Structure 1
Amino acid sequence: MGRRARRLVSGLIILALAGGGVLWWLAKPKPWDAAHWEGVGEPDLANGERVFWAGGCTSCHAATGAQDDARLVLSGGRPLKSPFGTFFPPNVSPDETAGIGGWTLAEFGNAMTRGVGKNGEHLYPSFPYGSYARMSVEDVNDLWGFMQTLPKSANVAPPHDLPFPFNVRLALGGWKLLYLTDAPRAEVNTADAKLAHGQYLVEGPGHCGECHTPRNALGGFEKDRWLAGAPNPEGEGRIPDITPGSKSIGSWSASDIASYLETGFTPEFDTVSGSMVDVQKNMAKLPASDREAIAAYLKALPPS
């Protein structure tokens, strides 16, 4: 090989290594700096419980069919089917071995808001950190404190069942570059305290868009169709459009929506069904002001 050819090959190798290094840096997990979680003080457990129900933790992390107090045992393992494979939510009880009892606030907060696990790995967005990214440090701290008071479970959830290439976690770094943001999902009058709080609950801990917003081929939200309804990821039926003017709740008043979230009854005296059953049970645990704020936000959205 001549000198010119060797230089060309060497240059290509250097470029490939440099490009690979840039891609690795862009795609690597990015937790918050340690200072982000410092100085938040003792958690407010009452607010932590409120955030717990708003966040719907039991809907995925309690055992299938759990009722009453059993819903507070966050043993994990309930299968979540999706077009990308089947996810099994982990044990997030305060058990020190099988659960997250040995985690720190920073490790928990980075999982919640940055999608980064205890060992620095990317988490799959089946865990809705894309919504939880909007949660305040105080609410994360309060939630963490409340979850430490819940029963322990020694259950070990199965690993995710994902085909190639979806089982390559490094690729999630590219997904985050495209879709992980804490920017508002919709424009509402945040000078109105009720609307601002409703936006926080719906777009943040309530993670309503995770089911009610359609996704593209990569699993990112279609930005111009916020809450406009989507195929059921588990393959049965469709998650309804919940914007004003929709056939599902477009004719409902704000008080109708708030009442539905509290009681499970529609204005037509039908009852909540499907995956919304668990959601409604969680929402019923919130103070009336939270449900009213959610309803006000939904009525303030532009029609789909």
Structure 2
Amino acid sequence: MKRLFIRLVLLLGVVSIGLGGVALTGTEPGSASLAELNGDVGRGAYLARASGCIACHTNTDAGGSPLAGGAPLETAFGTFYAPNLTTDKIEGIGAWSIDDFARAVREGVSPEGDPYYPAFPYGFYTRFSDQDVADLWAAFKTVPPVAQPSKPQQLGFPFNIRSGLHLWQEMYFDPGRFQPVAEQDTQYNRGKFLVEAAGHCAACHTSRNLLGALDQDDPFAGAEGLPGGGSSPAIHAEALKQRGWSVQDLAYALSSGITPDGDVLGATMGEVIREGTAFLSDEDRQAIATYLLTER
């Protein structure tokens, strides 16, 4: 898998050089009504926690301020750093508009028009509704400003040429809002939203092709070669049931980190639980477990 990632980087580098400054975003325009929506701070803060914003954009181990910039994420492409999301107008997002924010979150494009690396999971957040975005924006506006510069991504040539990501987005980014399954109940669809949009579980639990895009034909089947050299298990219904998981067991593990056999979930999943799912309501953890353990 590592060799595949290295080949991906080389291919993207070639594409970057070939494209130069050509922009091929293939994304939808932002909503003209976003600025008119009233965001709910509490709901936005909850959604931010469910979406991993705090975990990724806070360097907790180094004692960093909330959302002032994340710890290094080491990959085969180089080292990525989640940027400062505080309200500082120079170093953070304090000078952004809600439309800037929506475009970044749901389209993977900065206010300056630069594409974001897919280490930022906008491919999942594209499913957020206008109200979700308004709620998140309301919550982020309450974050105290921290004048801490975001660390630049440590990517060597040609990987640091971002224009090739326009073509990557054209090939693999599928913008669109969350669509509930009409035949399923509210709990199932809530779980689907949390797993496939906010929680972006497939980012770690689905393998990727040569170009780093998710294998849509085999979702939640586990993956190798994760950042830091780790791997993830399959979490589709069949695999979970074979390993003895029930809805109650899985919901409890998302709160406590304890597996049915008394072991403890550690590494990246431990962080996901500690900084994310442990803060969710019991109902939402039940919804996630129900969705994952439902045969599709």
Aligned to 1:32: 29
Q: Which secondary structure does the structure 2 equivalent of 1:295 belong to?
A: helix
Q: 1:241 to 1:119 in 2, by over 3 A?
A: same
Q: Cα distance, 1:150 vs. partner?
A: 2.1
Deviation by residue 1:204-257 (Cα, 9 ceiling, x = unmatched): 011111111110111100111211111142243311111123279742001111
Aligned to 2:168: 175
Q: Return the TM-score normalized by structure 2.
A: 0.85
1:294 alignment partner, one of 275, 288, 293 = 288
Answer whether contact 2:121 2:203 (CA < 8 A) is retained: yes
Report matched runs for 1:17-28 at 5 Å: 24=22, 27-28=24-25
Q: 1:183 to 1:149 in 2, by over 3 A?
A: closer
| 2:104 counterpart letter in structure 1 | A
Give the aligned length: 277
C-alpha distance in structure 1 between counterparts of 2:86 and 2:242, whole Å:
36
Q: Does structure 1 residue 115 correspond to structure 2 residue 108?
A: yes
Report matched runs for 1:140-219 at 5 Å: 140-182=133-175, 190-219=183-212
C-alpha distance in structure 1 between counterparts of 2:177 and 2:112, whole Å:
29
Answer whether contact 2:25 2:170 (CA < 8 A) is retained: no
Q: Which structure is richer in relative contact order (CA contacts within 8 A, separation 6 or more)?
A: 2
Q: 1:159 to 1:76 in 2, by over 3 A?
A: same
Q: 1:123 to 1:60 in 2, by over 3 A?
A: same
Aligned to 1:95: 88
Aligned to 2:50: 54
| 2:290 counterpart letter in structure 1 | A
Report matched runs for 1:55-94 at 5 Å: 55-65=51-61, 73-94=66-87
Answer whether contact 1:185 1:226 (CA < 8 A) is retained: no
Task: Provide structure 2 residue ranges, at least 5 long, that are not aligned to the other structure.
Answer: 1-18
| 1:289 counterpart letter in structure 2 | E
| 1:292 counterpart letter in structure 2 | Q
Task: Provide structure 1 residue ranges, at least 5 long, that are not aligned to the other structure.
Answer: 1-19
Q: 1:38 to 1:94 in 2, by over 3 A?
A: closer
Answer whether contact 2:106 2:128 (CA < 8 A) is retained: yes
| 1:169 counterpart letter in structure 2 | R
C-alpha distance in structure 2 between counterparts of 1:249 and 1:200, whole Å:
24
C-alpha distance in structure 2 between counterparts of 1:104 and 1:186, whole Å:
26
Q: 1:224 to 1:36 in 2, by over 3 A?
A: farther
Aligned to 1:45: 41
Q: Which secondary structure does the structure 2 equivalent of 1:86 belong to?
A: strand
Q: Does structure 1 residue 128 correspond to structure 2 residue 126?
A: no
C-alpha distance in structure 2 between counterparts of 1:51 and 1:185, whole Å:
15
2:279 alignment partner, one of 272, 276, 285 = 285
Q: 1:84 to 1:188 in 2, by over 3 A?
A: farther
Q: Cα distance, 1:183 vs. partner?
A: 6.0
C-alpha distance in structure 1 between counterparts of 2:234 and 2:136, whole Å:
30
Deviation by residue 1:133-157 (Cα, 9 ceiling, x = unmatched): 1111111110111122123222212
Q: Percent identity?
A: 37
Larger Rg belongs to: 1
| 1:49 counterpart letter in structure 2 | A
C-alpha distance in structure 2 between counterparts of 1:198 and 1:98, whole Å:
35
Answer whether contact 2:126 2:177 (CA < 8 A) is retained: no
Answer whether contact 2:56 2:82 (CA < 8 A) is retained: yes
Q: Which secondary structure does the structure 1 equivalent of 2:189 belong to?
A: helix
Q: Which secondary structure does the structure 2 equivalent of 1:81 belong to?
A: strand
Q: Which secondary structure does the structure 2 equivalent of 1:275 belong to?
A: helix
Deviation by residue 1:159-208 (Cα, 9 ceiling, x = unmatched): 11223333222211111112111469999665321111111111101111
Report matched runs for 1:234-273 at 5 Å: 234-246=227-239, 250-273=243-266
